[in-house]
Amino acid sequence: MINLTINGKAVQAEEGSTILEAARKVNIDIPTLCFLKGINEVGDCRMCVVEVEGRRGFATACIQKVEEGMVVKTSTPAVIEARRIVLDLILSNHDRECLTCTRNGNCELQKLAQEFYVDEIEYQGSRNEYEIDDKSPAIVRNFNKCVLCRRCVATCKKVQGIGAIDCIERGFASQVSTYKNKSLNDVNCTFCGQCIEACPVGALKEKDSTQEVWKALRDEDKYVVAQTAPAVRAALGEEFGMEIGTNVTGKMVSGLKELGFDKVFDTNTGADFTIVEEGTEFLDRFQNGGTLPMITSCSPGWVRYMELNYPELIPHLSTCKSPHQMFGAVIKSYYAEKMGIDPSKIFVVSVMPCIAKKFERTRDDMQGAGYDDVDAVITTRELARMIKQAHIDFLNLEDSEFDAPMGEATGAAAIFGTTGGVMEAALRTVQEKVTGNAFEKLEYEAVRGEQGIKRAEVDMNGKKVKVVVASGLKNAQTIMEEIKSGKADYQFVEIMACPGGCVMGGGQPIRSSKERATIDIRSKRANCLYSIDEKSTIRKSHENPVLKKIYEEYLGEPGGHKAHELLHTSYVERQKYLLDD
Ligand code: SF4
Ligand code: SF4
Ligand code: SF4
């Protein structure tokens, strides 16, 4: 341990830690802007400058390592003045339209401007003016609000292993750009949205779909159905100031009903469909010599990544649609028929933790019943916005239940929202089908937890099945390289594009750099889902009575002809068009 003094307090810090880490340990706050723990530790913006006794100039707290006997002062008048100048310079070249900015109220730059009471910009001069890139179905980039912190660049490169964006030019011309400055739509971006989660300001945001949804809700001719993904209920409350990981299922359903949706269904039922179909597909491949390992396909950012980077391995991908697409197809076929509703009048809105699902719904082969499976995708953040626009008092809403007959789901489906959850849910079904035994212990601890890659072995009537779970696209790349080189000795792979799975999706509430450094957000949200599973009376997808009924009455056998028509899809190679100019 290293002994130092910060603002007169004796502090002990681990060797190798930074002044910022040491200060936070004793509740001394130092402002940051470009810093993102473990991802972007570059000391570029200089908001975190501090004085170190005996040194000329300032030290940068986010990268300066602690030293024995160091005496640090974090808030002298000189330090405050220096930070204010940094802020003034950033704001002088910033599109300061807070009132119409998506991050108004949740912007790290705005917060700093408030704290430092910047009521006037001292430095006036030229301003960069960039065109807004809104060509993709998922992400909008407005670099007039960019503070050049590079948090997005580091996230895309280091966490996702992609490098769709990078810094180009120098000085005043510096900019975050793409290959040949193309739209994100036309480069190797996967629409995972992790850069949006990393951005401290409003330079990156999801493509807003709330207006389409309001329009459908106004249209008396439309039958508007909402379906909500598992991870949304574990995070929506944060947008209303609730503790991270609070289960707000009941309030969320009530909120959607108050917004005027005709029905509110649970995408978890769709997740149960996915498990039954995917389990059937896996068993078929496993027992009849099909392409193995089979890889899950419910994360659309991951699917796009595979189509872009490993098209030769597409046969490994399960042909199952993701849960909300499956469920949309079932709503527009079985449910429409049963209720006597014209499917062309049904408008399905998926509430998702994911940005890439906005792209997924526009893919070819996502029209199982002859209509788009899903008509609009809104993120957790967008749903919160709609609830706020409608002045619904979310915190005081009474709980409501999902609507029958499509609102019943199992505990297995709930854990879909976290890394390892799809694998665990699949194993509960597959292991029972193969061995014929009903297992009492349903928790597969080996595939739980925060590690980016988890490996496990499951016994199925003497036959060992090796499984791998990876989250984050950099980890996915490791697995794909193992498969490509023939080193893979496993049979079943779960991949989610976002590190930690959907609970940490690109459409979830955005937490500040400080919160990301000091709170285990992933575990809190994931534990919420594990606790929903634990409390569920039915915890295996194949035991869901709603599914049993729909297969009996309508779909026939899992993996059968009708099920394939509605619940499965196909993939395309996307490399070629990237090379096109
Ligand atoms: S990015 Fe932040 S500071 Fe800039 S306009 Fe938006 S809310 Fe205001
Ligand atoms: S959405 Fe994902 S892949 Fe695309 S630029 Fe952002 S981090 Fe990179
Ligand atoms: S887009 Fe956002 S995260 Fe990326 S450099 Fe600009 S401000 Fe930073």
Which ligand sits nearest to residue 112's alpha carbon? 1
Q: What are the DSSP calls for 216-256, one per residue?
A: HHH-TT-EEEEEE-GGGGGTGGGGGTPPTT---HHHHHHHH
Residue of 199, 510, 516 with the most ligand 3 atoms within 8 Å of its CB, for mutation: 199
Å from CA of 341 to ligand 1 middle: 45
Which ligand sits nearest to residue 161's alpha carbon? 2
268-314 pLDDT, tens per residue? 999 999 999 999 999 999 989 999 999 999 999 999 999 999 999 99
- CB proximity list for 249: less than 8 A, separation 6 or greater: 233, 399, 532
Answer yes or no: is pLDDT of 522 > 80.
yes
pLDDT value, residue 188:
93
Å from CA of 465 to ligand 3 middle: 43
Query: Is the CB of 154 inside a 6 Å radius of any atom of ligand 3?
Result: no
Query: Residue 14: helix, strand or coil by DSSP?
Result: coil
Question: 450 vs 530, which has greater pLDDT?
Answer: 530
Quote the tokens at residue 258.
Answer: 């108050």
Å from CA of 92 to ligand 3 middle: 16
User: How many CB atoms sit inside 10 A of residue 370's CB?
Assistant: 11
Residue of 100, 101, 108 with the most ligand 1 atoms within 8 Å of its CB, for mutation: 101
Q: Which amino acid is at 231?
A: A
Answer yes or no: is pLDDT of 118 > 90.
no
Give the chain's domains with CATH numbers. 2-75 (3.10.20.740), 122-204 (3.30.70.20), 210-567 (3.40.50.1780)
Which ligand sits nearest to residue 188's alpha carbon? 2
Question: 450 vs 578, which has greater pLDDT?
Answer: 450
Band of residue 51 on the pLDDT scale cut at 50, 70, 90: very high
Q: Which amino acid is at 378?
A: I
- CB proximity list for 408: less than 8 A, separation 6 or greater: 266, 269, 402, 544, 545, 546
Q: Residues lining ligand 2, judged by CB closer than 6 Å?
A: 139, 155-156, 160, 162, 164-165, 184, 189-195
Mean pLDDT of 28-43: 97
Which ligand 2 atom sits closest to the C-alpha of 196? 6
Calculate the average pLDDT of the chain: 94
pLDDT value, residue 405:
85
Query: Is the CB of 176 inside a 6 Å radius of any atom of ligand 3?
Result: yes
Find out whether 508 and 204 touch, Cβ atoms under 8 Å.
no
CA dist 408 and 428 (Å) reads: 18
Band of residue 208 on the pLDDT scale cut at 50, 70, 90: very high
Find out whether 217 and 376 touch, Cβ atoms under 8 Å.
no
Find out whether 87 and 121 touch, Cβ atoms under 8 Å.
no
Which ligand 3 atom sits closest to the C-alpha of 150? 5
pLDDT value, residue 128:
86
Find out whether 224 and 345 touch, Cβ atoms under 8 Å.
no
Which ligand sits nearest to residue 186's alpha carbon? 2
Answer yes or no: is pLDDT of 579 > 80.
no
State the first-to-last Cα distance of the chain, in angstroms, to the nearest integer.
Answer: 55
Band of residue 581 on the pLDDT scale cut at 50, 70, 90: low
388-447 pLDDT, tens per residue? 999 999 999 999 999 988 878 889 889 989 999 989 988 888 888 888 877 777 788 888
pTM over 0.85: yes
Å from CA of 191 to ligand 2 middle: 5
Answer yes or no: is pLDDT of 576 > 60.
no
